[in-house]
Amino acid sequence: MKKVSVISNVLSIAAIIFLFILDYPFMSVGYIMKNVLILALILLSILIYVRKKQTENK
């Protein structure tokens, strides 16, 4: 399970850096991408939490 959390941390850091780069050239595209990525990160964190709960119950 540690590998999954490390991967998600790296992805979130990469997403944040990506957003900062995107924001400068085109605000509207960056804004849309930011909302999509924030939603994706929230969904990922929920999935990881559910997976951890499932493995604890076993």
The answer on pLDDT for 52 being more than 80 is yes
In this prediction, residue 51 has a pLDDT band, given cuts at 50, 70 and 90, of confident
The answer on pLDDT for 32 being more than 80 is no
Task: Domain count for the chain, please give it.
Answer: 1
DSSP 2-42: HHHHHHHHHHHHHHHHHHHHHHTT-HHHHHHHHHHHHHHHH
Which comes out higher in pLDDT, residue 22 or 17?
17
Range of the domain at 46: 2-57
**What DSSP state is assigned to residue 25?**
T
State pTM to two decimals.
0.45
